[in-house]
Amino acid sequence: VDGREMVHLGSNNYLGLANDPAVKRAAAEAIERWGVGSGASRLITGTSGPVEALERDLAAFKGVEAAVVTSTGWQANASALAVLAGPGDLILSDKLNHASILDGAKASGAVLRTYRHGDVERLRALLERLRPRHRRCVIVTDGLFSMDGDVAPLAELAALKRQYDAILVVDDAHATGVLGDGGRGSAEAAGVADDVDVTVGTLSKALGSLGGFVTGPRALIETIVNRARPFIYTTALPAAMAAAARESLRIVREEPQRRRTCLALAGRLREDLRAAGFDTGASTTQIIPVHLGSAARAVEVFGRCAEAGLLVPAIRPPTVAPGTSRLRISVMATHDWDDLAALPDVLGGA
């Protein structure tokens, strides 16, 4: 940054795969064969071989019937919600869900209600009152919340889904590749993978590439391809990005030590930060917030970290609520402990 080398503590490249030689080689080879761009939407020019192969791999990885790859994670949420709900339906969304979920839910035409973050009893009350009035109900949640580093209460949500005949959708953008014994995400980690009807995710975080995906029943995936406007009217994901993501997925399956290292480093850093008196909220994952309150304070501490060679993003409104500004630390498997150990001391005066 400005000619200085810095330790990047703000990247979502959790497993370091964006810089992995095998992943870069897969992308380069795909560019040589398929070119840089895809040229048009998939319904105009069809689907490249690498994208088709990635969709098969993602479906197998998630243990479901089918998958569709989208150009961005945002588009994945918009496409899924566009076909899952419409006028006369109900969408119940965690208050801290990603903005793409909120925008997709609004665009669907369904009635949208939010519930307090992680508040299962509030969700139950909404279901009890509103479910009988609507034809279909979708419960949608982030699996791992990107600004807080905590995970959704998926076991409880799965129970409510069954009780009230709802559809459970999980956005696993930040959990895919990192959480669960096989890296399959938050539902695997919670032991409820079979209860999640639809999973949305990205290729741009732990998988180190670009794009998004939706996995679930084949009928849903085919409906997205043929009816979801966000999918239909967007240029297809380039083959090189699909080839890179496919190689990353192979590494996730075959090298579990990467996610174990990432989570172990994060756990050690979180313990040190808490021991030093910092508020890291309910984080249990590779994302660690350091709550500082005011936006001005967050920016000031960001500057102090930068002076020490640590790039730690300051998160302020409108991304988070006023009075809850924070630093957001993202731990990567490729960090050395020496990269992280100095952080509590650098923050010492915060």
At which residue do the structure tokens 């959704």 appear? 152
Do the domains spanning 18-254 and 256-346 agree at the CATH topology level?
no
Q: Which of 62, 98, 161, 174 is catalytic?
A: 174
pLDDT score, position 1 = 76
pLDDT score, position 349 = 58
| Side-chain half-sphere CA neighbours of 194 within 13 A | 1
Q: Note the pTM of the prediction, 2 decimals.
A: 0.95
CA pair distance 205, 178, nearest whole angstrom: 10
**Is 106 annotated as catalytic?**
no
**Is 146 annotated as catalytic?**
yes
Which tokens go with 267? 């756990």
18-254: CATH class: alpha beta
pLDDT score, position 350 = 56
Q: Do 203 and 245 contact (CB within 8 A), yes or no?
A: yes
**Is 174 annotated as catalytic?**
yes
Q: Which of 205, 283, 330, 335 is catalytic?
A: 205
pLDDT score, position 271 = 98
- What is the DSSP track for 126-178? HHHHHGGG-S-EEEEEESB-TTT--B--HHHHHHHHHHTT-EEEEE-TTTTTT
Q: Which of 146, 204, 209, 248 is catalytic?
A: 146
CA pair distance 325, 281, nearest whole angstrom: 12
Nearest partner of 92 among 147, 133, 63, 146, judged by Cα: 133
For the chain, the farthest-separated pair of C-alpha atoms sits apart, in whole angstroms, at: 61
Q: What are phi and psi of 231, to 5 degrees?
A: -80, -45
SS3 content of the chain, % helix, strand, coil (to 5): 45, 15, 40
CA pair distance 114, 92, nearest whole angstrom: 6
Identity of the residue numbered 28: A
Which tokens go with 200? 């949305």
pLDDT 10s per residue in the chain (350 long)?
778 899 999 999 999 999 999 999 999 999 999 999 999 999 999 999 999 999 999 999 999 999 999 999 999 999 999 999 999 999 999 999 999 999 999 999 999 999 999 999 999 999 999 999 999 999 999 999 999 999 999 999 999 999 999 999 999 999 999 999 999 999 999 999 999 999 999 999 999 999 999 999 999 999 999 999 999 999 999 999 999 999 999 999 999 999 999 999 999 999 999 999 999 999 999 999 999 999 999 999 999 999 999 999 999 999 999 999 999 999 999 999 998 999 999 998 55
pLDDT score, position 231 = 95
- What is the DSSP track for 336-350? -HHHHHTHHHHTTT-
Q: Do 260 and 14 contact (CB within 8 A), yes or no?
A: no
pLDDT score, position 3 = 82
Q: What are phi and psi of 270, to 5 degrees?
A: -60, -40
> Out of 3.40.50.2300, 3.90.1150.10, 1.10.287.180, 3.30.9.10, which CATH number does the structure's domain 256-346 have?
3.90.1150.10
Question: For the chain, which residues make up each domain, given as ranges?
Answer: 18-254, 256-346
